[in-house]
Structure formats: structure tokens, C-alpha cells
Amino acid sequence: MLRTETPDEPLAAPASPERRPDGPVRLTVQRGLFFGPSALAPEDLYSVVEKGVARRERGRVRLTPGTRVHTNTYFGRLYATYWQRWTAVDRVDVTAVAAGEGRVRLFASDTNKVSRIVDAVDVGTAAGPETREIRLSGPIDRFLDGGGMWLEITTETGELTVSEVRWSVVAPRSVPPTDIVICTYNRVEECLDTMQALADDPEALAAVGVVRVVDQGSDPLESRDRFAAVSKALGDRLVYLRQPNLGGAGGFTRGLYEATAGAPEEHRDVLFMDDDVMLEPEILIRLTSFAACTPQPTIVGGQMLNLLHPAHLHISGERADPENLINGLPTPGSLREAYLLGLDERLLPINQERRTDTEYNGWWSCLIPAEIVRRIGYPLPIFFQWDDVEFGYRARAAGFPTVSLPGAGVWHGDFGWKDWDEWHRYFNLRNGLIMAALHTGFSTKTIVARVRHLLSVYLIGMHYGLSATLLQAVEDFLEGPEILRDGSAGSAARIRRVRADYPETTVHKLTDLPEDFRALTVQRAGGEPSNESLTWVKRAVYQLLGKAPYPMGFIPAGDAHWWHVGLFERAVVTDMGEQGVRIRQRDKAKLIALARRGLQAMRRLHTEGPAVAERYRAAVPELTSRENWTRLYGLTDEAREGGNT
């Protein structure tokens, strides 16, 4: 049944099943799945029919004679190296129901992808086929630098069906109650799909006490007929609440806020889930069970596969370079935009064989233990962008690691198909500066050089709205932590107004343009300039004197480099999502005005930046406090009287 939470009457979490006393328990940590949650998910991410013919279903596989199937795949293998490094587990058992005749082997690999047989079971007798539960077992003891484990199933003359595969370990304690929080903003159908996917997998949902949906949109979920059916399917687990839009930071933090409302000794895990993912419900089992086996509270992150290109892994370990305003960089040895169905140079499957560390995990799916929140505080109220990075770095500084767990993944919209020239770029830039203030020495030399570089290439590329976005981010950062008093809701509204003054920030359908098609000839970019500084000076002269070599051109998104766009008086540029175009038109007055504004902003950043950074550091305890988030959520008299505006 649906329970609606209001600011005046926050709901208590439903009674969770009585937690078993701490002590060794056998825990299912992974199910053997042979097919995805949807036909949109490539089945070879789960199991591969290496030869012969097999029918793959979600929880079972049926082999005809002369067939070999293996699960040395992204979702099919157990990443033993992560279990040995981050848990005290020393052995894994695999159970299954086998019917027919054939052989099931447990394989393992080492750091260099060299495989070995760990255990094997033959099914069938001299009298013919049989049906029975089988068990294989292997030690987790030689995987510190890399390696994993998987199953191989083969038949010769008979048929064999394998089902109900479960990987289990002896864990130090049972899985604690887990709250899922889904933060949503006007993505109604996608969010309802995610909620339905949770309801459709009762075994995965069994570990969950609460599914808290935080709706911050103007198009509420409850306005749809589907919502009633999905709510009924989730039953008492569902808590639906609406609140003003405080971005992903405010939406996800609401889940942490509610989960930590109880006594300090009460332990809960909180699992963040984006609203627009294609969910693999198996992630609930894998993240919660792994977290239950770690000797200390650990952030356990799910990985992101690309929704538009579902066989590609976005990244397997991330780090940031705050002083250069960059996040999403791969840690050493990490996979990045990896095609998981491909083979390497040795014709072996592409997977995360060698263990890699991560410094934070994106919040598309990420488990955070309540103990960590009680120790380090809540996320910063920075709306979105860098909120996950900052929280991960703060946890790391306090001694709490983050593990990005391979094989625990969801599909999320491809980042490479999202255009930077959007209003959210403001938060990426401003919050990057805040991150640099909090977690680096705040080298003004490095930071100002980065801002200068970005502004210079934006201006020459006729990105006037993006230039204004950058400068607004710098100027707002210099206002200090007071800019965060309203949870950045005001900043979100203001940057949209700022960008509305720049026509090239609008995306048009190509068919709506009045230009003659003959003027829209595709103009591909040449090679990168050998002397970037000299090329920039030449383009600047073209822009200032109005002597661009070409009056107009159509430029594909992949060719829209500043040094190419700067050759045109008017450029029709494909948006990164390839659903429309933006029109960049040379404007000398805007170029000069933005350049002057930029010089002033950079002077201020150089002279005032260090002192402002100290103010941000001093404000962290208050900004991340429960009291501050109570005020932002409107749960105090101060907020009701306008204190959160």
C-alpha cells in the first residue's frame, strides 16, 4: 500500500524483519543469470554459447547435445579479486539444480587471464539422466591482484538443464535493512519503469525495507494511472514524497536523512538509484551482500553501462582532478568505454581482470552505510554535479573506502551523447571549484589557467552562452558558501535566465531552419593544429576583424572543435545528442564584453580565491549537518517563514 510522507508528518520506516544476531551466516551474494532483465540487454553479457545450441532464460539454461556454455562475462563471473581485497570471505560455494546429462565446471582466472579448473561435477549416471542439486566450491585465496570465477557447462551426447544457480559465502553478519531512494524530476515513465522492475523481482527486493521515491518534479508520478498499480506491487515498502527541487543532492540526501533518523546504533544501508536507468535488479543482491561482508563500513558502488550502447561499460574506476575542474577520469588500470562483448589481443573476453581502485562512485546506483553519514555528515547542498565526487572524497579522507563493484551494473544514458552547452554545465564548473577548495591546496595558478583556457576556446568557438555560464560559475563561487544557503535552487533558476540571452544555446530541428540546403554543406575538420597558441591568435583575428574564411557551414558534432568552428562566420553545429542543431553566429560585441568580464573574474579568482576557499572549508560542518538539511526540507519554522529562499 502507498504511504505518502509530508513535511509535517514524516513517516517512520516500516518494521524491518528482525535482524539476525551478528555472527557467521550463509549469504547468497550472486545469482547465476543467463539472460538479462529485458531483451534490450545483450544476453552475452550474462552467458555465452561457445558452441552448439542452448536456450538461455533468465534463471536457467538448456543445452542440447554437443554444446558448451560459459559465464565468463560481465554479469556472469564472480569478481574474486574484489572479494579477497575488500572482505574477509575466503571461500565461495556454487549450488544449482541440474537435470539431464553433462558436466559443470567452476573455473578461475589469475591476474594475467590464465584460467584453471577449480571444481567439477558430472551429472547423469550409467543408467541415464538425473535431476539433483549440485555443489561446487572454490577458495578465494589467490586473487589479490586480479582474477575471477565462472561456470562452464558442457554436454556430449545428452541434454542438460541448469537452473537456480546461487553463489554463496559465509558472511560475518547478515545483510542489514536497506533503504532504496530514487530521486526523480519529471521523468515519470522512466521512474515508473524502474519501480516496476524492482517489484518484478521479489527475491532481489527481499533485502529492501523501504523504497523511498523523492519526487521533485512539476509532473508528479502520482498523476499517472500506472502509479497506482506500481504502488500496489511494491506494497508497504513504498514511501512516496514530494518536495521542492533541490537537485540530485537534495533528493538523494532525503533518503539518507530519513534512514538516519533513528538511534545512532541503528544500522541501515541506503542504496541510491537514478530514476532513468534500465535496472538490473540483481544489483540489489550484489551490492547489499558485498557491503555486509566488508570489515569496515564501505561505500559500494554499482557500475554504469551505456543505455544507448548497452554492451559498453562507461568506466570501472574513477578519480577527479578538481583544480582542472575535471571528474570522471579513469583510475590506473580501469576500463573506460569498454566494449564488453569484444575480445582482447589474445582473443580473451574483455573484463576487469586486474583489480582497480576507485576514489568515488557515481550515484546512478550506489550503496552508502548509515554509519558513514553519521561520521562525516550529509552531502553538500550543491544541487547536482560533483556531489557524489565530494562525498566520496570526504569519506575517503575519513578512512572509509569506496569500491566500484564489477558485475553490479545498471544502464544509464550515455554521457558522451550529452552536450556540454547546457545549463547544468554551470554546476559542473561552480561545484568543481568548490571541490577544489575543499579537497586540494587550491592552486590559483592552476585553477586560473584552466578557467582562462576554457574561456578562450569557448569564445573563439562562438560559445557565448557557455562562456557566460563559465563566468557565472566563477563569480558565484567567489560569493562564498552563502551561495548554497537555498540548496542552490536559486542558482538553477538564475543560470537558465542567463543562458536565455544567448541564441546558440537553443537546439533546433534541422528541418526548421530557413537556410538553403546548399549552404548547409558538411564541413569536416582537418587535423589538430601543431601550434595551438598561434592558431588561437589567428582565429581571434578572424573573429575581431570579421574576416572568417567561410561564411557558413554545417559541422558534425565530432568536428566542432574551437579551431574549426572559428573559421566560420555562421556555423550550424550538430548537438552531441544528434537530435538537432545549434546555430553559432559570430558576435564581436559579445566576444569583447565576455572577454572583459572574464579578465575581471580571473583577477578576482586569483586574489580572492584562497580566502574564499578557507570560508568553504570552515562552512562544511554546518552545510553538511542534519540541521541544515532539516531547514532546506522545510521541516522547521525558519524554513516555513522563508528561511530557505
Q: What is the pLDDT of residues 38-92, one digit of tens each?
A: 999 999 999 999 999 999 999 999 999 999 999 999 999 999 999 999 999 999 9
Percent residues over pLDDT 90 in the chain = 87
Q: Is the pLDDT of residue 644 over 90?
A: no
Specify burial of residue 309 (Cβ count, 10 A radius: 0-12, 13-18, 19+): middle
Q: Quick one: average pLDDT of 369-385?
A: 97
**Rounded CA gap, 335 and 235, in Å?**
39
pLDDT of res. 22: 64
pLDDT above 90 for 453:
yes
On the question of pLDDT at 645 being above 70, the answer is no
How far from the centroid of its chain's Cα atoms is residue 117's Cα?
35
CATH topology of domain 3-16+175-417: Spore Coat Polysaccharide Biosynthesis Protein SpsA; Chain A (3.90.550)
H/E stretch holding 91: strand 91-100
pLDDT at 352 over 70: yes
The model's confidence at residue 10, banded by pLDDT at 50, 70 and 90, is very low
Of how many residues is the chain composed? 645
Burial class (CB in 10 A: 0-12, 13-18, 19+), 555: buried
pLDDT of residue 18: 34
Band (9; pLDDT cuts 50, 70, 90): very low
* Per-residue pLDDT tens over the stretch 248-306: 999 999 999 999 998 877 788 999 999 999 999 999 999 999 999 999 999 999 999 99
- Point out the least confidently predicted range of 97-101, 475-479, 577-581: 577-581
Q: Which of 160-164, 449-453, 508-512 is least confident?
A: 508-512
Judged against a pLDDT cut of 50, whether residue 424 lies above it is answered with: yes
3-16+175-417 and 30-170 agree in CATH topology: no
Compute the average pLDDT of residues 410-433: 95
Four-CA torsion 425, 426, 430, 432, nearest 10 degrees: -10
The residues near 497 (Cβ < 8 Å, ≥ 6 apart) are none
Residue 347, C-alpha cell as written in the block: 582473443
Q: Please report, for the chain, the start and end positions of each structural domain, with discontinuous segments joined by +.
A: 3-16+175-417, 30-170, 425-590
CATH number of 30-170: 2.60.120.260
Confidence check: pLDDT of 388 > 80: yes
Picking from 277, 294, 302, 452, the residue whose alpha carbon sits closest to that of residue 371 is 294
Is it the case that residue 15 has pLDDT exceeding 90?
no
Determine the Cα–Cα distance for residues 58 and 40; give it in Å rounded to an integer: 13
3-state helix, strand, coil in the chain (%, to 5): 35, 25, 35
How far, in Å, CA of 600 to CA of 596, rounded? 6
The confidence score (pLDDT) of residue 267 equals 82
Q: Residue 320 above 90 pLDDT? A: yes
Sign (positive or negative) of CA dihedral 290, 294, 296, 299 = negative
pLDDT at 450 over 70: yes
Average pLDDT in the 210-217 region?
97
Helix (H, G, I), strand (E, B) or coil at 312: strand
Mean pLDDT, residues 441-470 = 98
Sequence-ordered list of residues with C-beta below 8 angstroms from that of 164, at least 6 positions apart, any chain: 59, 60, 95, 96, 97
Taking all residues of the chain, what is their mean pLDDT, rounded to a whole number?
A: 93
Region of poorest pLDDT, from 120-134, 286-300, 516-530, 566-580:
516-530
Q: Which of 441, 501, 437 is nearest to 474 (CA)?
A: 437
Does the pTM surpass 0.75? The reply is yes
- The confidence band for 515, taking pLDDT boundaries of 50, 70 and 90, is confident
